[in-house]
Chains A and B, each alone.
Chain A
Amino acid sequence: MIPWGETRLVQGNEAIALGALASGIRFFGGYPITPSTEVAEILARRLPETGGVFIQMEDEIASISSVMGASLGGAKAMTATSGPGFSLMQEGLGYGCMAEIPFVVVDVMRAGPSTGLPTQVSQGDVMQARWGTHGDHPVIALCPASVRECFDMTIRAFNLSEEFRTPVLLLSDEVIGHMRERVTFPRREDVRILDRPVPETPVEWYEHYHPAPSNVSPMASYGSGYRFHVTGLTHDRQGFPTRRIDEVDEKMARLKNKIVRRLDELVEVKTHDVEQSRVVIFAYGSVYRSALAAQVMLEKKHKKVGVFRPVTLWPFPDREVKEYLDEKDVVIVPELNQGQLIHEVERLTSDCVRIVPVQRVDGYEITPEEIVGAAMEVM
């Protein structure tokens, strides 16, 4: 089913479906929405072949809810959506973070707000991914920029969700989702697939939210013989509602610390000639491809620019942005929105660094020429 080690022409959304199958997905609950639908369509065809479950639910709220139920029942689970569907899933995402349920949500970003431009690209959900739920808690969001990365990052998203017991977002976009590229798949033996740690303690000692050793405890599944309670209410180590300050504090600190104390394992960036350049393009997702093309075009004009790419969007690579970008003359930030991650770059760099936005929200890709134009103005 997975073309391990082979070379194929593959679409981005197809690569996500294949990555999910490679990860051992056992449940997909979803609702059709452009431009993510191919993920569901492929899994509808493939999952029954593996004995896994595909179900088209009645809406996106039901989709994410069924995914969480399935994950608590022991299945690796995922949903895929876009724009309006992602908005509908926000309450569920918060529930997943609070109840510490591993699953993957793919958001193939399309232009908004509202119904917007359903078949066209944007990067408008970056801040929604971070702050879309009520209450606050950290999130993990990965951002692919090629079809091969759609495959690899879906596996990584599953691995991180199982390891950290939390929902993981894969923020793709319409261009990456619908693009076809020649992909050489990794060999099976070179890919690491992680499964959630399961408890070995006697049933009567089991705590569904035990803090040791790394703020993430082994997780039993419903039906495994461990009987436990799960709730979205703030809960104690056993999962029962609590308002005791010491228990509430422990829970909330643990939700944060399980992410922020392991940034080294989570945060990934890519840099191209950043050290040697005074001008750097900060770009992610499909725009990163334009940034790399712009870098080559500028090279031909004897203008040296670097490219800095956050691969993990959340948690944001604060340390890396400071380290690589804070001493630069200019950072160009092309984004398919009206300015989202540019504020993070501004937050982490001194006033001496000139931040230049290049923004489009008309549903079209930012071209390399537009980035070159912005660079030529400042160089």
Chain B
Amino acid sequence: MAAILPYEYKYLRAKKKFPHVWCPGCGIGIVMGSIIRAIDSLGWNKNEIMLVSGIGCTSRMPVYLDFNTLHTMHGRALAFATGVKLANPGLKVIAVMGDGDALAIGGNHIIHAARRNIDITSIIVNNFNYGMTGGQHSPTTPMNAVTATSPHGMIEPGFDTCALLSAAGASFVARATVYHVVEMDGLIRQALEKKGFSVVEALSPCPTNYGRANRLGDAVKMMEEMRDNSVTVTKAAKMTPEELSGKIVRGVLAEREAPEYTDLYRDLCERVQGKAAEVPK
């Protein structure tokens, strides 16, 4: 492991809140590092960053980062984030959630946040199971996978998170893995810069629960699997559906320009107040 770069100290509540709760081999810390590097590369002020989370392993992240931080109820990160953003549209709002948090209990909120196209960046760390409660199946657990609550094999298909949120109206949708960390830095930066609802699904190993239950080997083995079993969007475009079967497609999966909600609300207020009419033509 490389030494922590000095600038990362700038963003960590390093003296007070470490060591963190994540297991050895967990990828959430790598995602956190990506978020830090993306923010640092944008030169954003810490005071203008609002980091919101729900409940779960990923949702512990705000404790460690020296931004405005809000650790909410299970599944509700985006509903809280919507309130914060509307009350204070100048804040750069980021929601970090796990797959269960974002897509099961929070499934309703995330599709509506995407539909409104409110300017929030969602980072969904997908480790295919509920890690904090001991490895139960989640809405992204693959078919046949063994978890604590699918001990005989999963019989529900998993969500394609990116397709779901793209269909719901998100302005930017990307998938990354914690193995391709430089690529992830860039995708998170693009998501942060994008006006509107943006999503990065970050695939991440959970060797302690999901990996062990499915005999996927240690953290290194699970990382190598991400390396060997994934392709970029560009490469995927040249592959047949048969070749793509079972492959993880990385990169920007959807990007569109659409009116953003807080802008539309501000316009509405101006229209209602008659200010719009006063603007010289």
Interface pair A241/B87, CB less than 8 Å apart? no
Contact between A68 and B83, CB atoms less than 8 A apart? yes
Within 8 A of B (CB), among A7-29: 26-27, 29
- The reply to whether B86 and A65 form a contact with Cβ atoms under 8 Å apart is no
Most buried by B among A61, A77, A91: A61
- Of the stretches A191-199, A222-230, A324-332, the one at the interface is A222-230
User: Who on chain B is nearest to A238 by CB?
Assistant: B16
- Cβ of B208 < 8 Å from any Cβ of A? no
Centre residue among A67, A222, A228 by max chain B CB count within 10 A: A222
Q: Beyond A27-B83, A72-B70, is A61–B76 a contact (Cβ under 8 Å)?
A: yes
User: If A66-B82, A69-B79, A222-B88 touch, does A95 touch B66 (CB 8 Å cutoff)?
Assistant: no
**CA–CA, A70 and B66, complex, Å:** 20
A-B contact pairs, 21 of them (CB 8 A): A26-B87, A48-B265, A49-B272, A58-B109, A62-B82, A62-B109, A63-B79, A65-B79, A66-B86, A68-B80, A72-B84, A73-B83, A73-B87, A77-B83, A92-B76, A227-B67, A232-B71, A232-B73, A240-B17, A240-B63, A241-B63
Given contacts A61-B76, A240-B17, A49 and B91 within 8 Å (CB-CB): no
Q: Is the interface of B mostly helix, strand, loop or mixed?
A: helix
A75 adjacent to chain B (CB < 8 Å) = yes
B68 touches A223 (CB 8 A): yes
**Which residues does chain B contribute within 8 Å of A241, judged by CB atoms?**
63
Interface check A74, CB cutoff 8 A: yes
For chain B, residues 52 to 89, give those with C-beta under 8 angstroms from any C-beta of chain A: 52, 62-63, 66-73, 75-76, 79-88
Q: Hey, what's the 0/1 contact readout for B252-274 against A, CB within 8 Å counting as 1?
A: 00000000000001001100110
Give Cα distance in the complex from A29 to B82, angstroms. Answer: 10
Closest chain-B Cβ to A32's Cβ sits at a distance in Å of 15
Q: Select which of B68, B108, B265 is within 8 A of A227 by beta carbon.
A: B68
Confirm or deny: B224 has a beta carbon within 8 angstroms of a beta carbon on chain A.
Answer: no
Known: A65-B109, A69-B81, A73-B87. 9 other contacts (CB 8 A): A49-B272, A51-B273, A61-B75, A71-B87, A73-B83, A75-B87, A227-B68, A229-B62, A241-B63
Shortest Cβ distance from residue A162 to the other chain B in the assembled complex, whole angstroms: 15
Residue A353 CB within 8 A of the other chain: no
Q: Which chain A residue has the least Cβ–Cβ distance from B49?
A: A227
B88 pairs with A73, CB closer than 8 A: yes
List residues of chain A with CB within 8 A of the CB of B69: 227-230
Chain B residues contacting A51 (CB-CB under 8 Å) are 269, 273
- Write the nearest CB–CB distance from B103 to chain A, whole angstroms: 15
CA distance A69 to B112 in the complex (A): 16
Residues of B within 8 A of A58 (CB): 108-109, 112
A376 lies within 8 A of chain B by Cβ = no
